[in-house]
Structures are given as C-alpha cells and as structure tokens.
C-alpha cells in the first residue's frame, strides 16, 4: 500500500495555525501582518497565483497589498516601488512575482528587498543564511516539502535523500534544508549519469525537474517517500489537458511508501508557507517570540 500524502489538508492546517497566530498578534500586540505582492505584466498563470495569494492572505486575517504594474515598467520604476515598500511599516513581507518581463533583471530587484521582508527567501543574504545555518527566510516550496516530510516520517536523520532538479527556487534550497535535517543529500539533474539507479537508492525522493512523469515506478526504492514538486500540463485524448507531476503517479503505486499527488500535494503548501513566512517576518521585525503566539 502506498500512502497518499494530502498536501491540501496539511496546507489548511498551516493556514489555520497562521490565522490563530495573526489573531493573537492583533489582540496582544496591535499588529496586523501585511504582505505586499508585486506583479509586473499580465502573465495569466502569475495572475492566478497572485489572486490566490491575496485571497488567502486576507482569509488568515492579514493585510494584502497588491501592486499591479504595466508590462513595460522599467527597472528603476520597480526599484523605486521596492524602496517604498521596504520603508513602509505596514508591510512586513514583500513578494515580487516571477518571472519578470524581459527588460527587467530579476537579480538586482530581489536583492533590493529588505532582507527581513524577503518572504520568498530568494535574496542572496537569505540564501547565504540558509546554507550557513543562520536565521533567514526559507523559500516557500522547499519549506512546504519539508513540513510534509516531517509529518510523514518524523526525524529524517540518516535518510538518503535525492533531489532531482537544481533550481535556485526548489532544488538547491531543498538540499540545504535536508542537510540541516541530517540527511545524506544528493542533487541530481537531467544530465546525471545512471539516474534511475541514483533514484532507486533514495529513501526520500524529491522530483523538481519539470518533466512530465519522468520518474518511473521502477526507479523508486520500495517503501521510499516521494515528493513530487512538478506541475505539468499535458494533453489527454480528446484535446483536453490535465495536470501531472514529474513522477508517474500510477507507476509509483505499490512501490513508494508514500507519495504526494499532483494536484493536491506540494502545490497548496507553497502559499501556506508564504503566509507562515509573513507571520515570521512580522514577529522578527517587532521582536516578538513566535512561540508565545500559540
Ligand atoms: N513564480 C512561481 N513561483 C514563485 C514563487 O514561489 N515566488 C515568486 N516570487 N514567484 C514565483
């Protein structure tokens, strides 16, 4: 039997806990955490993400601030907005939705964020803190994967983890987090030699390469825990599309010990962790011990 890891249900629990913390922050400290989301242009997928983020921010009792800028926004206009948000005390977290239009260089924009307002954890200073064991902001998708793994497995010490994918947003920060949990970590990618063999050695397999159903059932170690970060739209018979992950979910049945489905696995955890990070940011900026809120 393969357990289906219900990320949708777990994300609802995280949001509930965040809402409780926000209520205490308001009552006891007079603070309403604020999250500013900046969207440049009209990319349809980004518009959906931003709408969902705004709705869930409000649902948990926080202040949602949206800045929608035209597709021809200049680098200096965007940097000027970041400056304003950095010094706005009602804003505890800032997220610049990626990808940005071609005329904007994302790196200096991300690195212009105040380090303690970078709720995405993409600022070079937060990347450094993650790798050196310091107190930084942790990127939302890897944090969500880690929460699901801890809930499923408890202590991860000594587990062999293979991360398939080396992106700055998922693969690399995931490796840092799992090292911090005392796992033995391998980062693999599309050019790794003997990839099926490497996968089959892993107690924990994180798939984040963006290739539909690439990981086959017989690549998986029997009993392994599989976390599928992929969200790929594929054509079904009859021209309709459906979402699949980077793992062949049906092929993994009866082999994996547990696996996250797509949709309903890692996806809902990303926004839940963004809200979690926004509360963390509000606490740190106001010198409040988060543990005292629950
Ligand atoms: N675009 C897709 N995923 C993300 C994310 O996690 N953060 C930001 N800022 N943009 C994204």
- CA–CA dist 119, 43 (Å, integer): 22
Which of 116, 118, 120, 203 is catalytic? The answer is 120
**Separation of CA 140 and ligand 1 centre (Å):** 9
Which of 153, 255, 141 has the alpha carbon at shortest distance from 207?
A: 141
pLDDT at 117: 98
Most ligand 1 atoms within 8 A of CB, residue of 44, 52, 120 to mutate: 120
**250 annotated active-site:** no
Task: Enter the tokens of residue 98.
Answer: 């990626």
pLDDT at 140: 98
- CA–CA dist 175, 254 (Å, integer): 27
Strand, coil or helix: what is 34? strand
**Host H or E run for residue 7:** helix 7-29
Most ligand 1 atoms within 8 A of CB, residue of 44, 49, 104 to mutate: 49
pLDDT at 237: 80
What residue ranges of the chain have pLDDT lower than 70?
none
Task: Enter the tokens of residue 252.
Answer: 């993994």
First to last CA, the chain: 36
Domains of the chain in start order, with CATH, are 29-118 (3.40.50.10860), 140-266 (3.40.50.720)
**120 annotated active-site:** yes
pLDDT digits (tens, 9 = 90+) for 92-136: 999 999 999 999 999 999 999 999 999 999 999 999 999 999 899
- CA–CA dist 105, 100 (Å, integer): 8
């Amino acid at each position: 039997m393969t357990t289906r890891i219900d990320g949708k249900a777990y994300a609802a629990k995280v949001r509930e806990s965040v809402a409780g913390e926000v209520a205490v922050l308001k009552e006891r400290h007079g603070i309403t955490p604020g999250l500013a989301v900046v969207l440049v242009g009209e990319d349809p997928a980004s518009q959906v993400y931003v709408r969902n983020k705004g709705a869930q921010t409000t649902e948990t009792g926080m202040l949602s601030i949206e800045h929608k800028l035209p597709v021809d926004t200049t680098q200096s206009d965007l940097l000027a907005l970041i400056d304003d948000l950095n010094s706005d005390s009602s804003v505890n977290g800032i997220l610049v939705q990626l990808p940005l239009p071609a005329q904007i260089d994302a790196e200096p924009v991300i690195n212009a964020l105040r380090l303690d307002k970078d709720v995405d954890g993409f600022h070079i200073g937060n990347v450094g803190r993650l790798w050196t064991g310091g107190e930084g902001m942790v990127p939302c998708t890897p944090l969500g994967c880690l929460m699901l793994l801890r809930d499923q497995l408890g202590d991860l010490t000594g587990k062999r983890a293979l991360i398939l994918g080396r992106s700055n947003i998922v693969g690399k920060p995931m490796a840092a987090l799992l090292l911090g949990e005392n796992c033995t970590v391998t980062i693999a990618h599309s050019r790794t030699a003997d990839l099926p063999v490497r996968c089959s050695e892993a107690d924990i397999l994180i798939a984040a390469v963006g290739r539909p159903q690439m990981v086959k059932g017989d690549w998986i170690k029997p009993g392994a825990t599989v976390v599928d970060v992929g969200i790929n739209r594929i054509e079904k018979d009859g021209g309709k599309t459906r979402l699949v992950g980077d793992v062949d979910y049906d092929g993994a049945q009866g082999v994996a010990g547990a696996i996250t489905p797509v949709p309903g696995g890692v996806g809902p955890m990303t926004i839940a962790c963004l809200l979690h990070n926004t509360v963390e940011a509000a606490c740190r900026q106001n010198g409040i011990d988060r543990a005292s809120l629950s």
